[in-house]
Amino acid sequence: MEYESVLIVKPEVFIYKIPPRASNRGYRAGDWNLKEPTWTGRMRLVAKGTAVILKLEDKTSGALFANCPIDTYPGVAIEAVSDSSRYFVIRVQDDNGRSAFLGLGFGDRSDSFDLNVALQDHFKWVKNQEQIEKEKTEPKQELDLGFKEGETIKINMRITKKDGSEGSSRTGKNKGSSGVLPPPPGGLGKIAPPPAAAPATTVRQSPGVSPAHRPAAGGSEWTDYASAGGNQGQQNASNANWVQF
Residues 19-42, mean pLDDT to the nearest whole number: 87
High-pLDDT (> 90) share of the chain, % = 37
pLDDT at 195 over 90: no
pLDDT of residue 221: 47
DSSP string across 165-183: -EEEEEE---TT--SSPPP
pLDDT (mean) for 51-57: 94
- At residue 166, the pLDDT reads 59
Rounded to an integer, what distance in angstroms lies between the CA atom of residue 7 and that of residue 43? Answer: 11
Of 113-127, 129-143, 204-218, the range with the lowest mean pLDDT is: 204-218
Whether 122 shows a pLDDT value over 70: the answer reads yes
CATH 2.30.29.30 is held by the domain 4-137: yes
Residues 80/86, Cβ–Cβ less than 8 Å: no
pLDDT of 30 > 70? The answer is yes
Considering only residues 31 and 244, tell me which one the structure prediction assigns the higher pLDDT. Answer: 31
Q: Which of 4-13, 105-114, 139-148 is the least confident region?
A: 139-148
Strands 4-17 and 166-171: unpaired
The model's confidence at residue 131, banded by pLDDT at 50, 70 and 90, is confident
Point out the least confidently predicted range of 51-65, 131-145, 153-167, 221-235. 221-235
Length of the chain equals 245
- Distance, CA of 183 to CA of 48 (rounded, Å): 84
Q: What is the rounded average pLDDT of the residues 68-82?
A: 91
Task: Name the residue with higher pLDDT: 223 or 41.
Answer: 41
Nearest partner of 16 among 45, 36, 42, judged by Cα: 36
Question: DSSP label at 62?
Answer: -
Q: How confident is the model at residue 116 (pLDDT cuts 50, 70, 90)?
A: very high
Least confident stretch, 71-75, 134-138, 155-159, 220-224: 220-224
CA 114, distance to chain mean position in Å, is: 37
What is the rounded average pLDDT of the residues 45-52? 91
Tell me the residue type at 162.
K
Q: Give me the percent of the chain exceeding a pLDDT of 70.
A: 64
Which uninterrupted H or E stretch holds 36? none
Query: Whose CA is closest to 106, among 156, 142, 56?
Result: 56
**C-alpha to C-alpha distance for 162 and 70, rounded to whole angstroms:** 73
Average pLDDT over residues 189-203: 57
